[in-house]
Amino acid sequence: MVAKIEHKNRTGCPVACSLDIIGDHWSLLVIRSLMFKGVHEYKDMLKEEEQISTSILTNRLKKLETEGLISAMTHPESKRRKLYYLTEMGKDLLPMMTEMVLWASKNLSELLAIPEDLKALLNNDPEQFIQLTLQTIEDWEEQYLN
Amino acid sequence: MVAKIEHKNRTGCPVACSLDIIGDHWSLLVIRSLMFKGVHEYKDMLKEEEQISTSILTNRLKKLETEGLISAMTHPESKRRKLYYLTEMGKDLLPMMTEMVLWASKNLSELLAIPEDLKALLNNDPEQFIQLTLQTIEDWEEQYLN
DNA sequence: GAAGAACACTTGTATTATGAAAGTATTCAT
DNA sequence: ATGAATACTTTCATAATACAAGTGTTCTTC
């Protein structure tokens, strides 16, 4: 079995607690796919540019589900497919993710591939970027949930 | 030698790039000590509640310095001591760290030990929390830098 | 000015996590 | 009925981490 991830260092510190849940190389990439890229299926997550392996992806999906950040349902078109989506707790990470992107945009710009118009929106009106992203997520929810 | 950390997955994605730098269990805890706790020395970082090991701490301090997030100087009181501090790039993480704390405060509250007054400030006026934190950092800089 | 402690690492090694590849069970399309 | 698609599982080699002990300066105390 793939190693399970535990809360080893959990102290009362909010940063430490957060890192126990999302402080690894892959969890936030999964969150990113769900949050910004509209990627909701296992197979599509495997296809992402960063090339996560099957064992790690399964492990992280389970962990994120256990922690309450994501949830899963059977795809309405097929029983063999699953749709993963962010819970409220997962969606609450949007401001933090946005700040991370802003930080990268400012400090790692030479490494990044962000379209100019998106970059402009991010820097000029991050709050609107958040609202637009949230709207996209809610549109998806309206289509697939309930 | 302790394993070196490399940029393996660097793609154009700002989240992936950020995680290549700060996406591990320890880097952001070091940043936290410098940013929120006024901990600037190796020995004091070892004493933090989360109990980082000497090899990992050395490794992360080197990495963060190489990446440009922190810098170091000799302690004015003693040549055998070093003072670590955040660079501009490191301080730029403050909004993201604050959002992380806000997320934890909302979603992991039963695990956290945040004083009530700090929690109130965080939730009512995060921008002021950021300004106060920044001011504390700048006070330290005024005392030790230049 | 010699002895011992403080400090910031280094090194070595056992343990644990990760990654790549191959395999499995179920569902679906033809 | 057959073969492909999907979401995992398993295995095992490799890499990261934790722990303990050691090193080389610098500083304090006698």
Element (H, E) at B52: none
- Enumerate residues 115 to 144 of chain A having a beta carbon within 8 A of any beta carbon in chain B: none
The pLDDT score that the predictor gives to residue A1 is: 36
The pLDDT score that the predictor gives to residue B10 is: 63
pLDDT category at A114 given cuts 50, 70, 90 is confident
User: Which chain A residue has the Cα nearest residue B16?
Assistant: A29
The pLDDT score that the predictor gives to residue B142 is: 95
Which residues contact residue B18 at a Cβ distance below 8 angstroms, ignoring those fewer than 6 apart? A100, A101, A103, A104, A108
Task: Profile chain B (146 residues) by mean pLDDT over runs of 10 residues.
Answer: 46 91 93 97 95 93 95 94 97 98 93 88 96 97 91
Tell me, what amino acid is at B111? Answer: L
User: Which chain B residue has the Cα nearest residue A21?
Assistant: B25
- Chain B residues close to A32, C-beta within 8 Å: 13, 15-16
**Residue A42, domain extent:** 9-144
Residue A134 Cβ under 7 A from any strand C atom = no
Asked whether residue A25 is domain-assigned, the answer is: yes
Whether A67 shows a pLDDT value over 80: the answer reads yes
Asked whether residue A97 is domain-assigned, the answer is: yes
Asked whether residue B79 is domain-assigned, the answer is: yes
Alpha helices (H) in chain B, listed in sequence order: 14-22, 27-36, 42-47, 54-67, 88-91, 94-107, 116-124, 126-144
Asked whether residue A1 is domain-assigned, the answer is: no
Q: What mean pLDDT is predicted for residues A73-90?
A: 95
Number of structural domains chain B divides into: 1
Query: What CA–CA distance (Å, rounded) separates B14 from A60?
Result: 20
Asked whether residue A95 is domain-assigned, the answer is: yes
Asked whether residue A63 is domain-assigned, the answer is: yes
Asked whether residue A2 is domain-assigned, the answer is: no
- CATH number for position A133: 1.10.10.10
The pLDDT score that the predictor gives to residue A11 is: 81
Asked whether residue A4 is domain-assigned, the answer is: no
The pLDDT score that the predictor gives to residue B31 is: 97
Alpha helices (H) in chain A, listed in sequence order: 14-22, 27-36, 42-47, 54-67, 88-91, 94-107, 116-124, 126-144
Q: What mean pLDDT is predicted for residues A19-37?
A: 94
